[in-house]
Amino acid sequence: MLNILTKEECNKFLLSLSLLNYNMSDNAKLQTIYAISNRVESNYQIFKIKKYNGSYRTIYSPKPTLKHMQKNILHNILNNKQISKYAKAYHQNISLKDNALPHINQKVILKLDIIDFFENISFYDVYQSCFPEVYFPKPIGQLLTYLCTYESRLPQGAPTSAYISNLVMKDFDEELGSWCEQNNIAYTRYSDDMTFSGDFNPHEVISKVRKMLYKLNLKINNKKIKVIYNHQCQKVTGLVVNKKVRVSAKYRDKVRQEIYYIKKYGLLNHLNKIGYQEEPTKYLNTLYGKVLYILSINEEKEFLEYKTYLKELKNNY
């Protein structure tokens, strides 16, 4: 029935999605939505961010009106769709710690990375996973997909892209997660990072994942395959999981050291010694954020005291 709606009925359906909250007439809203969907690529600003390995990540930042519509698509449509329990990124009440918890104290950890994850999620993938004909008139589903893609791909930087990636990967996650459970393997996926842990043959898991990803036109990044045994430091999304989930000792020691020098020399003298050129408040906010990060993983008394100390220090500047 949805696909035999008249143009007028389709427009009413589109307006019911509340993509634009601006104070304008319904006709003006429709004109704006259609105009942007017809030239969506011109509604992005594109820039590159240098990664730690020296390569660059391309970010597609939507202009204000498109961004406004994408946020409404996310809140009014996408967030109502359930994702897999194995997906541990890009949704509320889930943190890095949740991604690490299933992998505590395991014999072996296997880490796999999906190459060019967002760029290889296609217009068709988005349409089928997020706006299928069973729920949306075909013209509306396609329009919504245009508003969420760039040159028929999922753009990294749009508000909708992260959650869409989880919806696209839902069937993959469920199938792979079920297979892992049958083989006593813990599995989680944090965006393009997949983690497996237990007592298993890594090559068997890699082969399974390759075949499943191939069906989605996705590939494992062979340069980032990591097998970590329990006599080594096992990290999952940056957190150590050998015995319990915790921030690495190196990270915590660095924060301790910074607090020590502030107390010993005073904040301004410390900043002068390290050649810090920004405002003291910026430094304090960054350090405070590091302490909060540590506390979000483990509420250690020592770092609770640092939190109080830095909070008082911040109030003086």
Strands (E), the chain: 44-50, 56-62, 108-113, 186-190, 193-198, 226-229, 235-236, 239-240, 246-247
Cα gap 150→246, rounded to integer Å: 38
Nearest in space to 57 (alpha carbons), one of 216, 192, 237: 192
Average pLDDT over the chain reads: 94
Mean pLDDT, residues 116-131 taken together: 96
Q: Which residue has the tokens 């245009």?
A: 146
pLDDT beyond 90 at 2: no
pLDDT at 4 over 80: no
Report which of residues 192 and 95 the model is more confident about: 192
Chain centroid offset of residue 81 CA:
17
**With 90 as the cut, is the pLDDT of residue 25 above it?**
yes
Residue type, 199: D
Q: Mean pLDDT over residues 255-260, rounded?
A: 96
Q: Are 33 and 40 in contact (CB under 8 A)?
A: no
Instruction: Indicate if the pLDDT at residue 260 is higher than 90.
Output: yes
pLDDT digits (tens, 9 = 90+) for 214-224: 999 999 999 99
Q: What is the pLDDT of residue 35?
A: 96
Name the residue with higher pLDDT: 94 or 85: 85
Quick: pLDDT tens for 42-77. Answer: 999 999 888 777 778 899 999 999 999 999 999 999
Q: What is the pLDDT of residues 267-308, one digit of tens each?
A: 999 999 999 999 999 999 999 999 999 999 998 899 999 999
Q: Give the pLDDT of residue 3.
A: 60
For 10, the 3-state DSSP assignment is: helix
Tens-digit pLDDT profile for residues 138-161: 999 999 999 999 999 999 999 999
